[in-house]
A and B are shown apart, each in its own frame.
Chain A
């Protein structure tokens, strides 16, 4: 990639955002937190995958999916099925009436492995399934909905129904899926014990790496012609259609991408947390994923990561100390993020903090340009330097149109 194309993809300011995030996730947090807390951060980061996908779908494309939990679940369950099969080899399950099948199947009087479990013996197939299953599913749903110009709230309700269906199905078919307990007692990945501290460190860094891969893909989409088309579609869909573009195909594509991101997040969740259950798939978690994205800023992929981290950290600390207050706080957050600051943290940052940070760096660069490599995180914004006038983003709110 030539320097010119690189700088078009990552303008200096946005590059800084990526670098700060990378330093926080890969250096600051691992050095400052013990492994238990770091593992929690890793768990929160898996939701950041979903939130980044939602930024593309909802913030840019104007498609609000309330069924991202379905994709999260597809990825998570695919990974869990592989790990479960590895954990239930004939040797360690010899006390069962049918050795060699997962324990919950034995409890439900199944005597052989169902056919759709067989391919999950292969790690290659599992990885392929994590990417392809959400693609196929997203494509089917997308074609059925977008080709018929269903959008906006109708799409939201139908995806929500899909999340409900999947949860009921998983809970109802407990012989095949582990039921309401989910898939627990996952032990090894190719003989490597996933429950040890070193494995947790490893998976944390794998998770951060995968998150950055997804962020780069998202950034590429944002900066490409596709990204601009998405924004155009969100704001005036008919005009894009009249200009000769097939609107439905772009929507299907971005919906599938969002689904794949969520599925990767789900797979990383299973690896780091060591179980997968239907409570992570249903209506409530799916709509919470939207709030991670909305808090971070529905138009900012970096903001979505911070949103997922902050909301989840708040959720953990609130439910540890004041469990009954948490739902009030969460409900208030939903209302506030819609009514008071629709562009989330990123919007607040761009309006209030960014001018000061810019001025600070402008000063720094004019004096001694060499120091700029270690940028301080945006949280510790110096309050000195006077704000310079910069262009502030006007709030853009995606509108879901109902097409009939």
Chain B
């Protein structure tokens, strides 16, 4: 399939698709980070993760509506506020869900999967009732519009750059939180041995709740970032949930670095192949490739060496 292109054409195709893939990569990373915390660290399957993301997107939409109606002079900074709000709302809902549902199911992972799927159905219908079935989009402030022209064929859209920066920033923050803070130590202790962690005085129930809320909050921020790239509908979250789970599993569930590496691989593969074949086939091939690798290496790309 490469035969009909010259080398320089191929190079610029790869560069162009690579840039498009980087934006997909950022969305994957933002979504997968929350899931990597919840699934990788706590072992909880949260099928409603996509709906937490969409919650963030709707919060951003509401904020932009409020700002454009009442505070048009501050419209250029609404996005920052919207992201903070999205984080708070999603994290609060996450804490509520953990308290009402997840904490009763910690030793039954398959049942958690079904219960959170039920939650995702309820949330979807709730969004549909409140916001309507039609997709909504936000107006971006001026400074997020436009693009930088790098070469003739490659241009970097500003909103894409912003999402990428955000993804990198949040990844760093999560990494520091997990591996350099007292709370991160506690989380990892609880994951490795709940009973022992409790015995040395860690409040495991509290750690669980904060961890789950943090994962959901990051999903909310991901949804907020998502509004810059696409429009939001009640079922948008479901479209991404399988991809995101594959990203996390492919990277090795308990490794943050693995999650980022696998998000990079999957997004680049998908976006590069999209140029040469139809979008659906490139997605099928990417997913098949991931499933195939997982069959050869079920523990994922990166694994922590832990004595059990």
Chain A interface residues (CB < 8 Å from chain B):
58, 64, 66, 144-145, 148-150, 152-154, 156-158, 160-162, 164-165, 168-169, 171-172, 283-284, 287, 290-291, 294, 324, 327-328, 330-335, 337-339, 342, 397-400, 402, 404
Contacts and interface: CB of A to CB of B under 8 A. Distances in A.
A334 B115 contact: yes
Interface core residue of B238, B288, B291 (most chain A CB under 10 Å) = B291
Contacts of B105: 338-339
A404 B299 contact: yes
A161 B114 contact: no
A161 B125 contact: no
A168 B294 contact: no
Contacts of B123: 331
Nearest to B129: A324
B280 A333 contact: no
Contacts of A153: 43, 45, 109-110, 113
Given A161-B246, A402-B43, A172 B117 contact: no
Interface of B: 43, 45, 101, 104-105, 107-115, 117-125, 128-129, 238, 242, 245-246, 249, 278, 280-281, 283-284, 287-288, 290-291, 294-295, 298-299, 303, 308
Contact of A397 (B111, B128, B281, B288): B111
Chain A interface helix/strand/loop/mixed: helix
B117 A161 contact: no
A169 B290 contact: no
Contacts of A161: 242, 245-246, 287, 290-291
B291 A327 contact: no
A324 B128 contact: yes
A272 B228 CA distance: 46
B225 to A, nearest CB: 23
Given A162-B291, A333-B118, A324 B109 contact: no
B111 A331 contact: no
Contacts of B299: 404
Contacts, number: 129
A290 B104 CA distance: 21
Nearest to B308: A404
21 contacts: A64-B113, A144-B295, A149-B298, A154-B249, A157-B245, A158-B291, A160-B245, A165-B284, A168-B287, A172-B278, A328-B121, A328-B122, A331-B123, A334-B119, A334-B121, A335-B119, A338-B118, A339-B104, A399-B108, A399-B109, A404-B298
Q: What 10 A-B pairs are tightest by C-beta distance, nearest first? A: A334-B118, A172-B280, A331-B121, A331-B122, A327-B125, A144-B295, A331-B118, A335-B118, A150-B298, A338-B115
B109 A335 contact: no
Chain B interface helix/strand/loop/mixed: helix
Contacts of A398: 110
Contacts of A66: 113
A338 B45 CA distance: 14
B284 A157 contact: no
A392 B101 CA distance: 27
A258 B249 CA distance: 25
A130 B298 CA distance: 30
A335 B280 contact: no
A289 B222 CA distance: 31
Contacts of A328: 121-122, 125
A332 B120 CA distance: 10
B107 A399 contact: yes
B117 A287 contact: yes
Contacts of A154: 249, 294, 298
A95 to B, nearest CB: 29
A152 B284 CA distance: 24
A334 B117 contact: yes
Interface core residue of B113, B124, B125, B245 (most chain A CB under 10 Å) = B113
Contact of B109 (A158, A168, A290, A400): A400
A305 B132 CA distance: 36
Given A162-B291, A397-B108, A400-B110, A339 B128 contact: no
A196 B63 CA distance: 57
B159 to A, nearest CB: 27
Contacts of A150: 294, 298
Nearest to B125: A327
B295 A156 contact: no
A390 to B, nearest CB: 27
A342 B107 CA distance: 14
A64 to B, nearest CB: 5
Nearest to B287: A165
A164 to B, nearest CB: 5
A140 to B, nearest CB: 9
Contact of B114 (A145, A148, A284, A294): A294
B114 A291 contact: yes
Contacts of B114: 287, 290-291, 294, 334, 337-338
A327 B128 CA distance: 10
A14 to B, nearest CB: 26
A10 B58 CA distance: 56
Given A144-B295, A161-B290, A165-B284, A332 B110 contact: no
Contacts of B238: 283-284
Contact of A331 (B104, B125, B278, B291): B125
A342 B295 contact: no
